[in-house]
Structure 1
């Protein structure tokens, strides 16, 4: 199968979408399929044997850490040259909308996937009044798909409620070899706990932005003198957050990748995740694979990954009393030890190979549905011609 994947972002950018695509595209190619990725210009034209077609890009002043693509007429030529059997528009919002448009005009099977829950982001930027307009825009680019998927059952239900037919949920995948409890690093632990005895280390991994609710983590230090926090990642809110956490035992590491990231996950006593804006939050599963219990703000996507009391615990977002109460698991070494084992065991159920195979099945479904639509349109056209022909006799009677 010839698979064209058009995405608003790709490796080496760091987020859940990039992780999925970076893991799945080489595997699809290894299965014998031809894959072409189309993305903004992120500085590479090939990734692990997968060719990348870069498009004209620009830098958005309010989010300058990565380039963005725009809708482009050049997409039509890319599609015609590659002759895909299926087009996958990943989170179509700007560049991806061109893929949707030309898949329709060129009559090619189309799968769209919904990853970033932008309507929820508006609440964090005092723009909630724009939600109806944004939902209209998202419907415009997802409804034409032959097959639409998303990343959690909770989000699937919400999309269907918003009149965006969503047939399936992308399974999670985890790099179980990279993210592993054996990556615990005693030297790093001492560094991030400032060489102080009797400390507990909380680790966060992710983008630093307003919608992540990271500022509420400052409350973990209230009433306790044994908490240290490592914030792994970068983003537009970093400077503000550094001011919020000034004079606390907090380390801002910036982006980490590969083995350094694996060490960060495995070295924490617990992984802490305050965001409820996530469509899934793949970092939760990566922490679990690292044998690190999760303390997370309660949301549908969170509860699809962790089992409270077994692989972690939850707290109510915006409720500092609930947040502080959730830290009590740190005071029980036996509970933490059990959760570490159970977190790893739960994560071992998921592999990127299985997730890639499932995505391939979704592509096949898109092709089958597209063909069925084609037959129905053709049949409807023939029926219409027949009705017109019969009407001529009726007029002559």
Structure 2
């Protein structure tokens, strides 16, 4: 099968959408499929022109200023049409379609090609956190209209099916969750990494948080545990627009900001911690939670978005009610004070993640593609997948 991806984010960005894209492309290659990727061009950064043997077509873009300057909005380009026509795809997949996805949707009509779209961002939550609530209503209309041009729409977790349906998006299926259980493994636990993360105090309980340092991720919620739980160390892994503000906020607490870690370093960081504290309530899935669990480190996460699709409360981790800072703090304290419970949750977390392979998820995705192609052949949208 020949698949064209139109995505609003890609390398060198590091986020859950990019992780899913990269792992999926690798699996598609191994399964014998062909692909091409249309993605924004990032100014003053290294823009890869291919990934695992597949071409990456970069499109001119502008920053989403002043609200989210690291987000790039792809500009209209006839190159999408010419490159898609030359590639002759069997199907186009719009990943979180907004601008590039809009042009991809327009072109698929011209070329008479089926389309699948996937919804990865909780628009309402992000708009509220970025203080742009005036974008919610027009954004919902735009996103709904784009998705409903597709033969099939995918969400990243079961809870997001309901969110998407409430927006008016039709023909919904779940793109199965997956994690690399070979790269992220308890065997990566490393005394030298633990010493680094704890800044020379490896004997103390170590809390980790991995992710983008931006306001919508609620990283500031980690300040209370850092201040109020005695005898701990905390490591915050990642970077983003709020990094300097957060460093100033956490000054004087037992907290270390590592910056971005990748590959084996990141895998060792996860496995060398005792607990992953995850305050974000804007996740449509939560790849970092899955990576931590695969590493044998239990997660305290919000009962919101896609997190309940990952964490089974008091079975493989703990959850707290979104917005409840005190419960977030108390669940962290509970696991810090009860190593035996923490270890039991860790074992079950690893076991549960072992069943979430990228090969299985990608084979299911290819099945969805085949369903969309069959639906497209019927021509009549009223007969598309219900």
1:394 is matched with none
- Tell me the distance in 2 between the aligned counterparts of 1:317 and 1:362: 33
> Does residue 1:200 correspond to 2:205, yes or no?
yes
Q: CA deviation at 1:238?
A: 1.0
- Kindly state the Cα deviation for residue 71 of structure 1 after the two structures are TM-superposed: 2.7
CA contact (8 A) 1:109 1:370 kept: yes
Residue 261 of structure 1: aligned partner: 266
Deviations 1:292-335 (A, max 9, x none): 00011221411111111121111233323212210211111211
* Map of 2:53 onto structure 1: 49
Q: Which residue of 2 aligns with 1:361?
A: 367
Aligned to 1:346: 352
Q: TM-score, normalised by structure 2?
A: 0.93
Once the two structures are overlaid, the 10-residue window that deviates more, 165-174 or 188-197, is 188-197
Q: Partners in 2 of 1:126 and 1:56 — Cα distance?
A: 26
Q: Which runs of 5+ in 1 are unaligned?
A: 378-397
Distance 1:87 1:227, change over 3 A: same
**2:379 equivalent among 352, 373, 376:** 373
Aligned to 2:296: 291
Matched, 1:237 2:238: no
Matched positions, count: 377
1:135 maps to which residue?
A: 140
Paired position in structure 1 for 2:225: 220
Larger Rg: 1
Contact 2:209–2:236 (CA<8 Å) still a contact in 1? yes
Distance between the aligned counterparts of 2:208 and 2:55, measured in 1?
35
How far did 1:65 drift?
4.6
2:166 counterpart (161, 173, 182): 161
CA separation of 1:226/1:137 partners in 2, compared to 1, >3 Å: closer, same or farther?
same
The alpha carbon displacement at 1:143 in A equals 1.1
Whether the aligned pair in 2 keeps the contact of 1:73 and 1:98 (CA below 8 Å) is no
1:115 deviates by 0.7
Shift of 1:59: 4.1
- Between 298-307 and 122-131, the greater mean CA deviation after superposition: 122-131
How many Å separate the matches in 1 of 2:302 and 2:239? Answer: 20
Q: Does 1:319 align with 2:324?
A: yes
> Cα distance 1:375–1:299, how it changes in 2: closer, same or farther (>3 A)?
closer
- In structure 2, what is the equivalent of residue 95 of structure 1? 100
Matched, 1:69 2:46: no
Cα distance in 2 between the residues matched to 1:197 and 1:209: 28
Asked if the contact 2:285/2:307 (under 8 Å) is kept, the reply is yes
Distance 1:376 1:198, change over 3 A: closer
Contact persistence 2:219–2:280 (CA under 8 A): yes
SS in 1 for 2:378: helix
The equivalent residue for 2:184 is 179
Between the aligned partners of 1:346 and 1:153, the Cα distance in structure 2 is: 17
For 1:381, the equivalent position in structure 2 comes to: none
8 Å CA contact 1:71–1:96 kept in 2: the answer is: no
Mean Cα deviation higher: 48-57 or 338-347? 48-57
Contact 1:233-1:255 within 8 A present in 2 as well: yes
**C-alpha offsets along residues 310-362 of structure 1, whole Å, 9 cap, x if unaligned?**
21111233323212210211111211221111110010011001111111011
Cα distance in 2, alignment partners of residues 376 and 196 from structure 1: 63
Q: CA deviation at 1:162?
A: 1.6
**TM-score normalized by the length of structure 1:** 0.90
Q: How far off its partner does 1:89 sit?
A: 0.8
Residue 388 (structure 1) aligns with? none
**1:11-52 superposed Cα distances (whole Å, 9 cap, x missing partner):** 332111111111111221222221111112351111111221
Distance 1:72 1:114 in 2: 23
Secondary structure at the counterpart of residue 79 of structure 1:
helix
Are the counterparts in 2 of residues 150 and 166 from structure 1 also a CA contact under 8 Å? no
Deviations 1:145-201 (A, max 9, x none): 111111011111121122111420110111111000011111222232233375211
Distance 1:59 1:197, change over 3 A: closer
1:58 equivalent in structure 2: 62
* Residue of structure 1 equivalent to 2:338: 332
